[in-house]
Amino acid sequence: MRQLWAPWRMDYIQADADEGCIFCEAPKKDPSEGLVLFNGSVSVVMLNKYPYNSGHLMVAPVRHVSKVEELTPEEGFDNFRMLRHCVSVLQRELKPHGFNVGMNLGKAAGAGIDGHLHMHIVPRWNGDMNFMPVLSDVKVIPEHLKATFDKLAPHFKGL
């Protein structure tokens, strides 16, 4: 039997729910530790620590807000500005064939973090579904988060 190692998943499994909001806490850390690619005055962009695919990004308002209708016009505009930038960067660096972009609003809709509004940007490639999720409920991520961070980070400098 072959082993699939994903040691970063243990952090997720053992995470303390009282650690606070990742979208509020990660920007306070060193960017590579918090996986924060952009920390602006209105929006934050970070790699998903538990990605569906390589390059899975999240865009969130800096302000801790949970509902779309609570966003200010500036926050809404800036979050979509960052969405456009993220898609452009991912297109250049990872060359996906498409994207899933979305928000899960509330626990009932599948939000893992429902207290801080955020968008997911998931690069997709033709044929990126393989037998692993079907047979063993395992997703194979072909690139380490640090390598993806290092590849994408230069594209967010100076924004």
**Residue 144 annotated in active site:** no
Euclidean distance between CA atoms 13 and 75, whole angstroms: 32
Roughly what angle, to the nearest 10 degrees, separates helices 145-152 and 73-94?
A: 110
Q: Give start and end residues of each alpha helix (H) in 98-143.
A: 131-136
Whether the CB-CB separation of 118 and 58 falls below 8 Å is answered with yes
CB contact at 8 A, 98 and 129: no
Of the residues 118, 120, 144, 155, only one is catalytic, namely: 118
Active site residues: 118
